[in-house]
Chains A and B, each alone.
Chain A
Amino acid sequence: MNRQGQQETEREFVDLVKRYERVIYKVCSFYATEVSPMEDLYQEAVLNLWKAFPKFRGESQISTWIYRVTLNSCISDLRRNGKHVVRAPLEFAENIVFQPDTMETELRELYRLIRQLGKLERAIILLWLEDRPYQEIADITGLTVSNVGTRLKRTKEKLKSMSNQ
């Protein structure tokens, strides 16, 4: 690729990251721990997006691709550092709302519950919260549509029971 082409690709990528910054942050907030704080996960995700960017051929929606790469990046990180995972205090979530003092109790509770879920369950529940259709959740997670339905139902029940405890 010539220099001009390279600059064009870089500009496109920066625009893309700016446009989907919120999505990347939200995904990272679901997987942040003391070992892998938000900032590290975010940087790792952006790096992985950059590596995968030249291979993206627009076969899926750009948002689907962003979710998939970011989720894979966060899950891989969790796997790598799984043995050392320490439950992070809720401040990691406060970072993304920028207003720690006014963070709602419900939001704190939401993060407390989510942090007790497994890697894939978190991904599914995040995409459900984001109102993604089953087909897209299936495309992102690599599950079948029916499997997404089943797992989502189970995860919701799990969340419900955890919140009643």
Chain B
Amino acid sequence: MYGRKGCQLVKEIASGEKEQLTPFNSDLFDQVIAECSQHYVELQALIRNMQEKGLDVQTSKNEDHFGALIHHLSLVRNKRCLTSYMYNRAEILRNLIWKVGPVLPQEILEKLSHFEKEYFKKHSASLKSYMSRIDLDLAVDMVPPKDPYIQVRVLDDIGEGIVLSDEKSVNFARHSMHLLKRTDAEQFIARGLMEELTG
């Protein structure tokens, strides 16, 4: 049936968990585009058919016209499915910048297509330039903290020599505990590399 593959593509987003990316399905994506080209070829053939019979393509409503109409509608439908697939993924990507920060972990990078990686890079660059122009980090927690420092535990080997905002270099070995500035710790917690210690 026409438009079935495009719908499968959209279904992939719907069946995944909310705000979770599924791997970019370039295989199915290309198949839908191929289906579009096929519709276009058949639509052209029907129009030619009408011209050969000497009919006015604009006004005459014969069975060729209706066939061309169905191909046209299927094209429009496929277009909607394809753009919606890209649009919804791009929306998740844009949200990722706020939640995870400009550095994406490997398991998410693997799911992106080449163009999405490019998009993410450019989007985070423009956000960064905006934030540096207004001289404010907009990605930090919105609620004013009671204490600018928090106690954290490192969950994974992050590595040595990470320079924090006070220009000191720290060694984040696994299971070590640190008292850090909230703003420094936030992005590590978001990426799941640290946890906040409370109480």
Chains A and B bind each other: no
Residues of A within 8 A of B (CB): none
Residues of B within 8 A of A (CB): none
